C-alpha cells in the first residue's frame, strides 16, 4: 500500500526551490512586521509592534538586516537561474512567451463560458509567470530604493537629493503593493482554489500528485510521462 501511494506522487520542486520559497516567506514577513509600523508610526498597533521588538532602533536594524538578506537571496536566485539556462542544465520555463498572453485570454473566455475547455499549461502557467516577474521587478525596486534610504548621504552626493524622498515613497508603496498581491493574488490562486483548498503543499514537500499534475499542467505531464 505504501509503494502504491508513493507512486501517486512525483517530484516537482528541488530542495533549493523549496528553501528559497521558505526563506522568502520568513524574510518578507520580517520586512512587513518591521516596515509597516515605520510607514504608519502614529497608529497604536505600530507603537505596540515597535515597543515589543525593542524600540525603533532595533526595528530599523532588523528591517535592514532582513532587506540585505532578501537582496542576497534574490541575487543568488538570479545568478543560479541565468547560469542554469546558459549552461542548459535547466530550461527557461519562467520566460514569458506569446502563448502565455494567449492563455490569459483563452482562460478568461473559459471562465465566462465562451470556450468549452481551458488552455493547456506547461510547467508554469501564465498566472505563476506574471506573479514571478512581478516579484522579481518588485524586489529590484525594493532593493534599489532600500539601499538609497540606507545610504542617503552617499547617493545624494552623486544624484539629485530629491531622489531620497522619492525613494521613500516608492519603497513604502511598493511594499504595500507587494503585500496586497501576496494576500489577494497569491493566496487565492495557490491555496484557496477548489482544487488546492486549504493549501497546495507541493512547494513545501516538493511533491505533487500525479493526477493533479496531469490536470493542472498537462503539457508538463505529457512531456514527462507521455500518454500514460
Cα separation of 32 and 27, whole Å? Answer: 9
Report the DSSP beta bridge partners of residue 9: 209
Cell of 26: 520568513
For all residues of the chain together, what is the average pLDDT? 91
On the question of pLDDT at 143 being above 90, the answer is: yes
pTM of the model: 0.88
pLDDT band at 4 (very low <50, low <70, confident <90, very high): very low
Instruction: Kindly report, residue by residue over 169-182, the tens digit of the pLDDT.
Output: 999 999 999 999 88
On the question of pLDDT at 98 being above 70, the answer is: yes
**Architecture of 2-225 per CATH?**
Up-down Bundle (1.20)
Domain boundaries, the chain: 2-225
Those residues with Cβ within 8 angstroms of residue 59's Cβ, 6 or more apart along the chain or in another chain: 34, 37, 38, 49, 50, 53
pLDDT band at 184 (very low <50, low <70, confident <90, very high): confident
Using CA atoms of 98, 103, 106, 110 in order, give the dihedral in degrees to the nearest 10.
180
3-state secondary structure of 160: coil
Amino acid at each position: 500500500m505504501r509503494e502504491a501511494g508513493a507512486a501517486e506522487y512525483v517530484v516537482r520542486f528541488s530542495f533549493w526551490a523549496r528553501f528559497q520559497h521558505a526563506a522568502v516567506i520568513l524574510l518578507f514577513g520580517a520586512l512587513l512586521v518591521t516596515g509597516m509600523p515605520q510607514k504608519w508610526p502614529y497608529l497604536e498597533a505600530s507603537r505596540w509592534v515597535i515597543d515589543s521588538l525593542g524600540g525603533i532602533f532595533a526595528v530599523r536594524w532588523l528591517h535592514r538586516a532582513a532587506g540585505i538578506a532578501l537582496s542576497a537571496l534574490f541575487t543568488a536566485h538570479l545568478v543560479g537561474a541565468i547560469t542554469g539556462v546558459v549552461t542548459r542544465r535547466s530550461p527557461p520555463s519562467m520566460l514569458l512567451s506569446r502563448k502565455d498572453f494567449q492563455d490569459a485570454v483563452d482562460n478568461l473566455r473559459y471562465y465566462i463560458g465562451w470556450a468549452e475547455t481551458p488552455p493547456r499549461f506547461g510547467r508554469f502557467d501564465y498566472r505563476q509567470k506574471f506573479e514571478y516577474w512581478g516579484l522579481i521587478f518588485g524586489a529590484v525596486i525594493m532593493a534599489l530604493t532600500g539601499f538609497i534610504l540606507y545610504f542617503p548621504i552617499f547617493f545624494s552626493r552623486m544624484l539629485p537629493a530629491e531622489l531620497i524622498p522619492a525613494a521613500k515613497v516608492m519603497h513604502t508603496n511598493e511594499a504595500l503593493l507587494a503585500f496586497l498581491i501576496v494576500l489577494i493574488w497569491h493566496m487565492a490562486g495557490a491555496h484557496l482554489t477548489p482544487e488546492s483548498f486549504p493549501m497546495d503543499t507541493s512547494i513545501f514537500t516538493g511533491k505533487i500528485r500525479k493526477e493533479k499534475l496531469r490536470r493542472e499542467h498537462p503539457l508538463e505531464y505529457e512531456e514527462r510521462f507521455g500518454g500514460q
